[in-house]
Amino acid sequence: MSWSCQRCRQPLLLHPSVGSELDLNQSAYDLVQDSFIASRQPNRPTPTSRTVSTPDKNQGTSAQEASKADGVEASTADANSLSARLAASSALFDLLSHPPATEASGNDKGSATMIDHPLCKACTDTLLDIMDAQMSQLRTQRDSYLAFESELRRYKLLPSKPARRSSTASSAEAGPSSADDMAALESDARKECLALQREIAQLAEDEATALAELDEAEAARLAVEAELEAMRVEERALEQEEERFWSQYSSHTLTLSKLEDEKSSLGMSIAHDRQLLARLRASNVYTDAFCIGHSGGIATINGLRLGRLPGQAVEWNEINAAWGQTALLLDVIARKLGVGFRGYRLVPKGSFSVVYRYEDTHSHRYSASSTTAASSILPAAPGGMDPNVGEVDEEGEKAVYELYGSSDWQIGRLLQSRRFDHAQTGFLACLKQVVEFAGSHDAAFQTPHAINKDKIGEASIRLQFGSDETWTRALRHVLVTCNRVLMWTLEREKRQQPQGGGVSINGKQVGSVGA
């Protein structure tokens, strides 16, 4: 037969001393069980299975009586017989399943245990832990009750000696033996009554004092509440004032931030304008318009090569354009300085510039081309001479020489080369007059190359019957001299510019910036 734990439902392994002797088949077990039940009292409930149900109070009482009867029978029977062992096992099972009722069980008197039996070892240990915890809790409650009782006795809320009172009561029940005892009892009662009356009077006085103190405390409380209310009103006013203050502070902070941003922006604008003004002062329109340099031994003006070498073939279109820029540069310098050329007049026309030669070499002539790009930005020349109004004598005899060449191999090329050489010589004569003007106004002015007729720096400017190297060297000297005269002109203009840091346009002061 199999046994199982009533809590975890696991099969139980009985001790060998019990399991081996009780190992019966079902028919033998039923036979023995029926014979055992028949010999017991008829009012005992028959356990049909090992599953324990919750019995009522009568069943518990009958189970206890049956267990006692079985114990007596088992003691008289043979201890080693099978029936005795079955009776002991059944009694033990009934005792575990239906424990006897106790007075401490309260309302649950006669009820079954919380956990049915049989149990395995683990479940039994769990049951023991639960019971130990319940016992510890009951002990704690008992200690709390004892401590509370001691406190009550200390404050005289309970009689200090209940045992003596009980003995006194028992003696009173028995009756005094004499009149002295009755008198003593009455005296003790009167004393106790007087003590109680004094205690009541004292308590009344204490109550009146406490009520007076309570009234004072209530008045103080009302005063404090009124003060708190006034403080709350003041606090709300301060909070509103603080809110207005922070609002104004935020507004002023925002205004200050905007003003600082505007100040920073203006400062950056002023710094940028100063840098731009410094850059404009350092720059010059003439040096930007006429950039003179060199490329591989050939002088250049605005990137155009003026000359040619055997190893560097330069197209005539480029050379003619460079001559046009050079003629324009010399014409601009002459206009700016107010120099009138004697016997010559330059007419810059880009790649087709020309030079006029007059028979009257003593008259001063200026360029009559009022449509020249440079004439519109030139200031008035010193001495009242206007560079835009030319003193041109068209009635006198004049010769026109082309300041440009050609690469066509024709019969007239020799004549054209001769006219080109005359134009170059006339340009060199005009450059010499400008150099002499600068030397007459500034004794420290010197040119790197001297000009003598058709030679500059011992190099002839004529191309006919000459070499390309000599001609190119002469042209390089021409551009170097023009650049030197241009620098002297700009320095002279700076010296003549009025103080104050203004910018001069067409000889007029248009503005100044403070330091």
Cα→Cα distances 472→32, 82, 429, 479, Å: 151, 150, 18, 11
Max mean pLDDT among 44-53, 169-178, 279-288 falls in: 279-288
Same domain, 378 and 295: yes
Same domain, 277 and 368: no
Residue 58 within any structural domain of the chain: yes
Instruction: Pick the more confident residue, 105 or 78.
Output: 78
Same domain, 309 and 439: yes
Same domain, 304 and 424: yes
Residue 31 within any structural domain of the chain: yes
Residue 188 within any structural domain of the chain: no
Give tens-digit pLDDT for 303-331: 999 998 888 888 999 999 999 999 999 99
pLDDT at 466: 78
Give tens-digit pLDDT for 211-256: 999 999 999 999 999 999 999 999 999 999 999 999 999 999 999 9
The region of weakest confidence among 189-203, 358-372, 396-410 is 358-372
Residue 507 within any structural domain of the chain: no
Same domain, 296 and 275: no
Distance CA 141, CA 134 (A): 11
Task: State yes or no: pLDDT of 135 exceeds 70.
Answer: yes
- pTM for the whole structure: 0.46
Q: How many domains does the chain have?
A: 3
Task: State yes or no: pLDDT of 10 exceeds 50.
Answer: yes
Q: What is the CATH number of the domain that holds 357?
A: 1.10.418.40
Nearest alpha carbon to residue 396 among 428, 365, 354, 352: 365
> Which of residues 74, 103, 119 is at a domain's end?
119
Task: State yes or no: pLDDT of 418 exceeds 80.
Answer: yes
Same domain, 373 and 355: yes
pLDDT at 437: 93
Task: State yes or no: pLDDT of 111 exceeds 50.
Answer: no
Angle, alpha carbons 447-453-455 (nearest 5°) = 65
pLDDT at 369: 41
Same domain, 334 and 463: yes
Same domain, 328 and 456: yes
Same domain, 299 and 410: yes
Residue 187 within any structural domain of the chain: no
Task: State yes or no: pLDDT of 165 exceeds 60.
Answer: no
Residue 488 within any structural domain of the chain: yes
Instruction: Pick the more confident residue, 235 or 415.
Output: 235
Residue 201 within any structural domain of the chain: no
Same domain, 229 and 316: no
> Which of residues 249, 283, 317 is at a domain's end?
283
pLDDT at 379: 46
Domain containing residue 114: 16-119
Q: What is the 3-state secondary structure of 177-245? A: CCHHHHHHHHHHHHHHHHHHHHHHHHHHHHHHHHHHHHHHHHHHHHHHHHHHHHHHHHHHHHHHHHHHH
Residue 146 within any structural domain of the chain: no
